[in-house]
Amino acid sequence: MKLRMIGCSHQTASVRARERVAFTTAQVPEALERFRNRFPLSEAVLLSTCNRMEIYLAALNSDECPSHRDIVEFVAGFHGLDAVDIFEDLFERTGEDAVRHLFTVAASLDSMVLGEAQILAQVKQAYELACAGDHAGALLNLAFQRAIRVARRIANETAVNQKRVSIPSVAVADFACQIFERFDDKRVLVAGAGEMAEETLKYLAQQGARRITIVNRSSERARALAESFKARSEPWDRLLDLIVESDLMISAVGAERPILTVDQFRTIAENRAQRALFLLDLAVPRNIEPEIGGFQGVYLYSIDDLSAACERNRKSREKELPKASRIVDEESRRFMAELRHRATGPTIQRLKERAEELKSDELSRLLKRLGPVEPHARDEIDRAFERLVNKLLHPPLESLRDHAERGAAHGLFDAFVQLFKLKD
């Protein structure tokens, strides 16, 4: 029985190295099919994301599991590369280390952003793609199902993924939600149509924001972003009028000078009648003059405020890392013990069946020689044979189980098979 993982991640390889060996979602089924044609007796799950490429392997017989070099050559061949050029980029984990690595990855303890939720969905997708093509067998089915449960256990028992750590998520969860109890009735104005604005809008939409207006110097980009959120776009020159109407404004415009000055805001404030206004300035240089935060009813936060909150949340997550790591270690040991028990189970069962056959044969032979025997005496003889067999088998079977739990049963297991002729 062999478990192995070969791959690379942001922890071990550069972006350029990861790009060379990455597989798109569309390529994964083809890669797995090629893998099966080349290694028909091995199971495989292929996990490929922007931060990692990892192939998980398993085989009932160790000799049937592809080696590190085999996988390097396979990956190189698929991508038209020279194996020598990527050999050092792909590291290897085997046995319990491979299981521990899988559990760590699924629980987002090895992610670039500790505790991010996306990786578990990616692990599930990789596993489902392997199952769809019948590439994951008994061993990897057990390993990946357990990895998903371990990730959920860590999410429930630790705070590793409870605090937001990205600028957009913190802006909404740690700041906007402190000002507003609900967002479905709030008028949201977005100045800018770049990545930061879009990411923040995703979190606002998750909170229920529906009345969204987008303005941008490029009206085409504003319309495109508006369509994706079922929002409306307005001309850039309507920005100040739209602020008067809004409850919340996100500003992420690349500009050398502020797009909202104190003088401009004085007029806006007169028309707002002191209604609460949440201003989120995600730009560098800042889009909104900081003095505007001094107006009554205005809550202004800049990228520095958000970065400080992100760092606090990141440190909070890191404090939970030792607890999460202990869970991974515990679950890895438990999984390997169960796996070894499963491996020795059929052999133990065959030995018990062989012993039962021998007992039955000898008991039958004895009873024939003895002639008529009272039922009570017959039962006593049967129980005596049963006790004798159990007492003889108990020490070696107990020793085999103990060695299996400690991961040291390989030699003893082979000896059992040889001594009792249990191959078939």
pLDDT, tens digit, for every residue of 5-44? 999 998 898 888 998 999 998 999 999 999 999 999 999 9
pLDDT value for 266: 95
Is 324 inside a domain boundary?
A: no
Which has more confidence, 112 or 3? 3
**Mean pLDDT score, 281-296:** 92
Is 285 inside a domain boundary?
A: yes
Pair 188, 67 in one domain? no
- Final residue of a domain: which of 142, 160, 178? 160
Pair 14, 102 in one domain? yes
Is 322 inside a domain boundary?
A: no
- Final residue of a domain: which of 127, 160, 193? 160
pLDDT at 191 over 80: yes
Residues that are catalytic: 50
pLDDT value for 163: 66
pLDDT at 405 over 90: no
Is 114 inside a domain boundary?
A: yes
pLDDT value for 116: 77
Is 124 inside a domain boundary?
A: yes
Which has more confidence, 337 or 128? 128
pLDDT value for 343: 67
Pair 80, 150 in one domain? yes
pLDDT value for 325: 94
Per the structure, the count of domains in the chain is: 3
Pair 136, 178 in one domain? no
Domain range holding 228? 167-312
Banded pLDDT at 151 (limits 50, 70, 90): very high
Q: Determine the angle formed by the axes of helices 27-38 and 118-132, rounding to 10 degrees.
A: 50
Least trusted range by pLDDT, from 15-29, 75-89, 306-320: 306-320
The C-alpha atoms of residue 27 and residue 46 are separated, in whole angstroms, by 10
The C-alpha atoms of residue 160 and residue 313 are separated, in whole angstroms, by 10
Banded pLDDT at 167 (limits 50, 70, 90): confident
Pair 186, 303 in one domain? yes
Q: Answer for the pair 75, 90: CB distance below 8 angstroms, yes or no.
A: yes
Q: Answer for the pair 203, 229: CB distance below 8 angstroms, yes or no.
A: no
**Mean pLDDT score, 238-247:** 96
| Percent share of the chain, pLDDT over 70 | 94
Q: What is the CATH number of the domain that holds 194?
A: 3.40.50.720
pLDDT at 91 over 80: yes
Model pLDDT for residues 318-367, shown as the tens digit of each residue: 888 899 999 999 999 999 888 877 766 667 778 788 888 888 888 888 88
Pair 283, 365 in one domain? no
Q: What is the CATH number of the domain that holds 122?
A: 3.30.460.30
Pair 406, 265 in one domain? no
Is 289 inside a domain boundary?
A: yes
Which has more confidence, 317 or 126? 126
Give the number of other Cβ atoms within 10 Å of residue 351's Cβ. 19
- Please name every residue paired with 176 in a beta bridge, in sequence order, or none if there are none: none
Beta strands 232-234; 298-301: pairing state: unpaired
Is 321 inside a domain boundary?
A: no
| Percent share of the chain, pLDDT over 90 | 53
Pair 185, 106 in one domain? no
The C-alpha atoms of residue 424 and residue 421 are separated, in whole angstroms, by 8
Pair 137, 204 in one domain? no
Pair 56, 146 in one domain? yes
pLDDT value for 413: 67
DSSP state, residue 173 = I
pLDDT at 140 over 90: yes
Pair 370, 305 in one domain? no
Q: Answer for the pair 206, 237: CB distance below 8 angstroms, yes or no.
A: no
Banded pLDDT at 74 (limits 50, 70, 90): very high
Which has more confidence, 166 or 20? 20
Closest Cα partner for 102 from 127, 129, 134, 78?
A: 127
